[in-house]
Amino acid sequence: MSVDLRIEGRAGRITLTRPEALNALSPAMSLAIERALMGWQDDPAVALVLIDAAGPRAFCAGGDVAQIHAEGVQGNFGFGRAFWRQEYRMNARIAAYPKPVVSLMHGFCMGGGVGLGCHASHRIVGGTTQMAMPECAIGLVPDVGGTRLLARAPGRLGAYLGTTGRRMGPGDAIFAGFADHYLPEADWPALVETLCSGALTLPVAEPPPATLPALRPEIDRHFASPDLPAILQSLKAGDTPFAADTLKTLERGSPLAIAATLEILRRLGPDPSLREALEMEFRFTFRAQGEADLLEGVRAAIIDKDRSPRWKHADAAALPQGLVDHLLAPLGEDRLTFEEEQ
């Protein structure tokens, strides 16, 4: 199952134990975590929950999309849909948990890792943290509630981070609202010991300088419009290394996924609830295998690794708005619900 669930002292411990796969989250792991949270919720022996991961390289590099691809190319879209439905319920449960939830996020923390760690009540990053929402590169939209974090980021930072997948070190993760505190990783064992005693005492340090604040003026200017062609045109007219690099990144991603990401953020507004964000994301992910670029994006990036995806709509200027609207249309009886949380 690759996740160690236990009670240690007064803490419910969730430790991902799949370091050889950068602690990628599988359906079985996600379900086990949710069930553990349900069991500890009313247990008086558990004062708080602590989420961390084994291995030096990653807290969690994302969901196991290779497994979704293997099922999807056989026409079994239901596997991925069931995984996302259950995973999103887990994300919502973490955010609404009645006890403190502390996440220690080192190394790679991306996609599903963001959903696991960044909805906790106390989010700690360290010197090795590299956080990102890189889904547009594989034809998906930022999900697991990531669009809520992006929507609440300063200025147009969310649109930039969500479409480019730019990695954030610890200072930038805190600045963008994906984390709360920085603590050198050498101090984490002592913190774990304190937390396991039941004491919610968080010694924190000054994080490394953030790089995003200095880029805010350019980001806000180029990403002022939620329209992808307008953003690309603005970047093409730019004469800075930032504009050139950002343009190259956007031109490599799925135009359909990027346009849908911008539309999701526009619809959600500046301060959506997590459940609103998850429900909107699920509209896209439910359709992503059969009607968007996900299977092709995973093939190119992870399966064949040729880095040459053949997107359904390679020309962003000719992308039909009606298709984006369709991918984000209500799902009716298939909509995401949270009934299992009641």
Active site residues: 63, 112, 135, 143
Rounded alpha-carbon distances, angstroms, from residue 112 to 12, 33, 108, 212 = 20, 13, 11, 23
111: left (phi over 0), alpha (psi -120 to 50) or beta: left
Regarding beta strands 3-8 and 11-16, do their DSSP bridges make them parallel or antiparallel, or are they unpaired?
Answer: antiparallel
DSSP string, 220-236: HHHTSSS-HHHHHHHHH
Cβ-contact 60, 24 below 8 angstroms: yes
Beta carbons of 207 and 171 less than 8 angstroms apart: yes
Amino acid (1-letter code) at residue 284? F
- Distance (Å, whole) CA 286 – CA 334: 9
Q: How far apart are CA 340 and CA 59, in angstroms?
A: 27
Length of the chain: 342
The SS3 assignment for 110 reads strand
Environment class of residue 206 by beta-carbon count within 10 Å: exposed (0-12), middle (13-18) or buried (19+)? Answer: exposed
Tokens describing residue 47: 């004062």
Count the alpha carbons within 13 Å of 300 in the hemisphere toward its beta carbon: 17
Q: How far apart are CA 13 and CA 102, in angstroms?
A: 10
Beta bridge partners of 267: none
Instruction: Reduce the DSSP state of residue 4 to 3 states and report it.
Output: strand
Segment (H or E) for 52: strand 48-53
Handedness of CA 78, 139, 20, 56 (dihedral sign): negative
